[in-house]
Chain A
Amino acid sequence: MFPKRVGLTLVALLLASACAPSGTPAGASPTAAGEKPQSGGELLYIVTAEPPTFDAHQSTTFATLQPISPHYSLLYKLDPADNVSKIIPDVADGMPTVSTDKLTWTIKLRQDVTFQDGQQMTAEDVVATYNKIINPPQGVTSPRKGVYAPVASVEATDKFTVTFKLKYATGSFLASLASPWNYIYSAAKLKQDPKWYEKNVDGTGPFTFVEYQKGSYWAGKKNPSYFGKDKNGTKLPYLDSYKAFFITDPNRQTAAIQSKQAMIEFRGFTPQQRDQLQRALGNDLAVQESPWVCVNYITFNTKKKPFDDARVRRALTLAIDRWSGGDALSKQTIVKDVGGLMRPKGPFAMSDADLQKIPGFYKDNAKAVDEAKKLLADAGVSNLTFNFLNRNVTTPYEPVAVFAINEWKKIGVTATHQVKETAAYLADLRAGNYDVGLDFNCDYFDEPDLQLAKFYSASGLGKGLNLAGYDDPKLDQMIDAQSRETDPAKRKQLVWDIERYAMGEQAYQVPVLWWYRIIPYLKIVRGYVIGSNHYTTMDMANIWLAKQ
C-alpha cells in the first residue's frame, strides 16, 4: 500500500533510482531473464575482516554487516535488485506517510514479523531500536547518532505504527531509515541489557544463527518463520544455509575462490585478483563491477603554512591529472572514476562538463600545470617540499599516493611519501600532526548529508571528521541549506555549489579518484546485484544457487 502523501524526499530518491546506473555485470547476469530461482544449498563466502562486535548499531565496519546481516531486518532497505538507490520496505508495511510540513513521518509495520526467539515484532521494538541509536544508554556507543540529529522523538502510535517527529525537514531522512546498520532489535532484550546484542544474536532476518568459530567462520541457517517473499510469492530465503569465512590474506582469498572453497566475496577484489580468477576459472566465473561510494581525499593541514593559503592548495589539486590517472590506476588498483564530492555516475553527481570547469578537473592538464605553477609563484613557494602522510595499506592507498606525488613533480613540488601503520596514521591525522595527508571516506548511500559531513567546520559539526582543521561558516551554511532542502532538483544545485566552493575555490579536501568495486564470483551464485557500496543487501535473502 502506497501512502497518500509522500515527501518530496521520497520522490527525489525514486528519481535518483531511475537515473542511477546499477552494477555492470560481466558474464552471467545476476538472475538471467526467465530464470526461476532455485531453493536449497549453502552459500560460502569470504569476509575479509572479523567483526569486532555483533551489534551493528555500534559498529562502523563491513566486517559486522557481511556475516551478521542475514539474521536481521531493517525498517527500510535498499532493493536487492537495484542496490544503489531504490529504497523499499523491510519490516515496514509500505513507504512512510510524510506530513505536509515534512516533520512527521508515520510508518506502518508488518504484523507477521517474529524474532528468532518466537516473539512478535511490534512498534515497541522499532522504537527501542531507534532510541538506542539516537539516545544510546549509559555504556553504549552510537557512532552514527549525529545522523539522527533532526529527530525530535520516536513513538509507537499503536502496536504496529511508529511515528518519527523531526525538528526540521531534511532531504536525507528516508536514507537514514534505510541504514544497513540499523538492525531491528527486541525491546525486551534491550530492556534486559542494552549491551545484549554485542555478544548475542536475535533478529527477524532470513537466517538464524548457528555458530561462530573465532577467526574462522560464521554460520547461519534458513529461518523458517521469516516473513519475506519474492515477487512470485515464494518464501525467502532461497538458501538453506550460509557460511562466511574470515580470510584476511588476499592470496588466500583468491585461492579460496579459485579452489571453489568459497563462492564470492562481497567487498571487492583488485583487477589482478579478478584477472587471475578469470584465467583460472574461465566460464565458471562471473564478474560484476560498479562505481563505489568510497573515495580518497587529499587533505591539506590548513593549520600549517603554506597550506593555510588557498592558492597553494589549489595549485596542488590543479597539478593532478585525474582523467589520465583514472585510466592508468584502474588497471592496477580499485580506483577508476573521476568525480567531485559526490560519487561519479551517482544521483547527485555533477556532469563531467561542469566538473571539468573546476580547478583540478580540467581536461587540459598543460593549462592546469601552468596555472598551478603561477599560483605557487604568487604564494612564494615555487619549490615547495612537504611530507605526504599515508597509511600502510596497499589497496588503493599506496598507488594513489604515489600517483599524486608524481603529478606534483610536474609543478616543481617534492612530496615525501610518509607511510605509517593505520593506528599511527589516524593518530597523526586527528592530531593535525601532518602537512598533507591521504584521507578516505566510505558510505552506504549516495547522500550529501553523509558525504559532506566531513566538510563542516572543524570546531563545529565537523569536529573529529574534518581533518583539514579549517573553520568556514560559509561552507557550514551551504551544507545546512542543502540538507534542509527537500526539492531534489534544488538540492542538487546546492550540492554542486558546495563542490565548486569547497573543491575549486578553497580546495580544503580534494578527491583524487573514486573507488571501483570488482566482484568476481562463481557463476552458480545468482540473485546478487552489485551495489555502489559493500554494506547493503547483505541479508542474503534473494541469493540462490544454480544447480550445476
Chain B
Amino acid sequence: MQRYVAGRLLLMIPTLLGVAILTFLIMRVVPGDVVALRYSQAGAVSQDVIDRERRLLGLDKPIQDQFFDWMGQVVRLDFGQSLWTDRPVTEEIAARFGITLELAILAAIIASAIAIPLGVLAAVRQDSWVDYVIRVVSIGGLALPSFWLGILMILGLVVFFRWAPPLIFVPIWKDPVENLGQLIWPALSVGYRYSAVATRMTRSSVLEVLREDYVRTARAKGLRELWVVVRHALRNSLLPVTTVISLEFAFLFGGLVVTEQVFNVNGLGKLLVDAVAHRDYPLIQALVLIFSFVFVVVNFVVDLLYGVLDPRIRYA
C-alpha cells in the first residue's frame, strides 16, 4: 500500500510538468498580449509606450528564457506576478480559492443529497411513473445549462421577491446566513446539473446490484426491503457513484466559470476567464496547474476510497 501511494505521488510530478509545459506553449501560440489589451480602452497610446511596457514585463524575451524563468520560480512555489494587476499570483488566487472551494463543496452536497435518494428510488421503482419522473428531472438537469438556470433564478428572485443574492462575500464563519444567502443559489444551479449525472449513475448502478445473487439471498433471508436496498444494494453500488461525484467535484474547481459570472461570485473560474481574456500568462499557468493538481489529488483519493468501499480491493 505504501509503495502504491508513493508511486502514485511520484507520478503526479510528470503529469503536472506536462500540464505546465503544454499550458505555457498553448498560451504563447494564442494571439494577443496583455499590453495591447491594457492600453486598448481609451486615449492615444503610442506603439513606443506599448513596446516599453512589453520590455518591462519581459515579454520581449525568447520563449525558452520566459519558460525557464517561470519554471525556476514555480519550483520555489513562487508563481510570479500577475501581468494585469502586478500583484503576486498567489495573492490573487488565495483571495478566491476559499470561495470556489466552498461553492464546490456546497454543490457536491446538494448534488449528493438529490442524486443518491432519487437514483435509488428510480432503481427500486424501475419503469414506474416515479422512475419516469426522476428520469425526466435528471435529463432536464443535463439539458439545461447551469448558468441559464442561474439567470432564471436571479430573475425569479428579483421579479417575485424584489430581492437578489448579496453582492458582498462574507465568510461562512463570520455570518453563515449571509454567506449561504449568496452561495446557495449558484450551488443549487450547479448542484442540480451535477446531480443529474450522479442520479443516472446511481440508478443504473443500483439496478445492476439489485439483480445480484446476494441481494436475492438477503431478501430470501427475510430482511426488510429498506435494509436490503440500503445495506446491500446501495453500499455495493457506491463505487461508480463516488467516482462520478468526485470527478465532478474536481471539474467544478475550474468549471464554474459562467455560473460565477452570472451570480457575481468572485471565484477561481471567473478569475481564469479574466486571466485568459487579459493574456495574463503567469496567472493562467498557475491556475491551470492548481486545477490539474486538484484533479490529480481527487483521482488519487478516489482510488484510495475504493479500498474502503470495497474491501476486496487491495493495492499492491
Alpha-carbon gap, A157 to B45, bound state (A)? 31
Q: How many A-B residue pairs lie within 8 Å, measured between CB atoms?
A: 160
Cβ distance B197 to chain A, nearest Cβ, rounded Å: 26
Given known contacts A259-B158, A422-B277, A465-B46, A52 and B53 CB-to-CB distance under 8 angstroms: no
Residues of B within 8 A of A249 (CB): 261-262, 264
Residues of A within 8 A of B266 (CB): 213-216
Residues of B within 8 A of A450 (CB): 43-44
Cβ distance B93 to chain A, nearest Cβ, rounded Å: 11
Task: Decide if B86 touches A423 in the complex (CB within 8 Å).
Answer: no
Alpha-carbon gap, A464 to B47, bound state (A)? 4
Task: Decide if A252 touches B262 in the complex (CB within 8 Å).
Answer: yes
Which of B33, B39, B270: most chain A Cβ within 10 A?
Answer: B39
Alpha-carbon gap, A166 to B261, bound state (A)? 48
- Assess whether B28 is interfacial by the CB under 8 Å rule: no
- Assess whether B295 is interfacial by the CB under 8 Å rule: no
Residues of A within 8 A of B37 (CB): 422-423, 426
Query: Which of A103-111, A138-146, A332-340, A496-504 binds B?
Result: A138-146
Residues of A within 8 A of B92 (CB): 214
Which of B46, B96, B167, B266: most chain A Cβ within 10 A?
Answer: B167
Contact with B along A236-278 (1 / 0, CB 8 A): 0000000001111101100110111110000000000000000
Cβ distance A545 to chain B, nearest Cβ, rounded Å: 18
Task: Decide if A252 touches B264 in the complex (CB within 8 Å).
Answer: yes
Alpha-carbon gap, A214 to B94, bound state (A)? 11
Q: Bin the interface of chain A by size.
A: 35 or more
- Assess whether A430 is interfacial by the CB under 8 Å rule: yes
- Assess whether A210 is interfacial by the CB under 8 Å rule: no
Q: Considering only CB atoms, which chain B residue lies closest to A142 in the complex?
A: B49
- Assess whether A280 is interfacial by the CB under 8 Å rule: yes
Cβ distance A522 to chain B, nearest Cβ, rounded Å: 13
Residues of B within 8 A of A256 (CB): 164, 167
Given known contacts A214-B92, A215-B95, A422-B277, A143 and B45 CB-to-CB distance under 8 angstroms: yes
Task: Decide if B36 touches A255 in the complex (CB within 8 Å).
Answer: no
Task: Decide if A443 touches B32 in the complex (CB within 8 Å).
Answer: no
Given known contacts A255-B154, A423-B33, A454 and B261 CB-to-CB distance under 8 angstroms: no
Q: Considering only CB atoms, which chain A residue lies closest to B99 in the complex?
A: A215
Alpha-carbon gap, A454 to B235, bound state (A)? 69
Q: Considering only CB atoms, which chain B residue lies closest to A219 in the complex?
A: B168
Alpha-carbon gap, A421 to B164, bound state (A)? 31
Given known contacts A247-B264, A443-B43, A427 and B167 CB-to-CB distance under 8 angstroms: no
Contact with A along B89-102 (1 / 0, CB 8 A): 00010011000000
Given known contacts A143-B45, A147-B44, A262-B167, A252 and B38 CB-to-CB distance under 8 angstroms: no
Given known contacts A214-B92, A249-B264, A255-B154, A442 and B41 CB-to-CB distance under 8 angstroms: yes
The residues of B with any CB-CB pair to A shorter than 8 Å are 30-33, 36-50, 52-53, 56, 84-87, 92, 95-96, 151, 154-155, 157-159, 162-164, 166-169, 261-264, 266, 270-271, 274, 277-279
Task: Decide if A535 touches B42 in the complex (CB within 8 Å).
Answer: yes
Task: Decide if B45 touches A464 in the complex (CB within 8 Å).
Answer: yes
Task: Decide if A464 touches B154 in the complex (CB within 8 Å).
Answer: no
Task: Decide if A251 touches B42 in the complex (CB within 8 Å).
Answer: no
**Which parts of A101-155 form the interface with B (CB within 8 Å)?**
139, 141-147
Known: A60-B39, A423-B30, A427-B36. 4 other contacts (CB 8 A): A217-B168, A258-B158, A261-B166, A450-B43
Cβ distance B100 to chain A, nearest Cβ, rounded Å: 11
Can you list 16 A-B contacts (CB < 8 A)? Answer: A52-B84, A53-B86, A144-B45, A215-B96, A216-B168, A216-B169, A245-B167, A258-B164, A259-B158, A423-B30, A426-B37, A427-B31, A443-B42, A453-B43, A463-B48, A465-B44
Residues of B within 8 A of A464 (CB): 45-50
Task: Decide if A144 touches B31 in the complex (CB within 8 Å).
Answer: no
Task: Decide if B271 touches A427 in the complex (CB within 8 Å).
Answer: no
Task: Decide if A146 touches B46 in the complex (CB within 8 Å).
Answer: yes
Residues of B within 8 A of A453 (CB): 43-44
Alpha-carbon gap, A217 to B168, bound state (A)? 7
Alpha-carbon gap, A422 to B274, bound state (A)? 12
Of the residues B44, B95, B159, B264, contact of A280 by C-beta under 8 Å: B159
Residues of B within 8 A of A259 (CB): 157-158, 162-164
- Assess whether A356 is interfacial by the CB under 8 Å rule: no
Alpha-carbon gap, A444 to B158, bound state (A)? 35
Contact with B along A51-69 (1 / 0, CB 8 A): 0110000001110000000
Task: Decide if A255 touches B46 in the complex (CB within 8 Å).
Answer: no
Residues of A within 8 A of B264 (CB): 245-249, 252
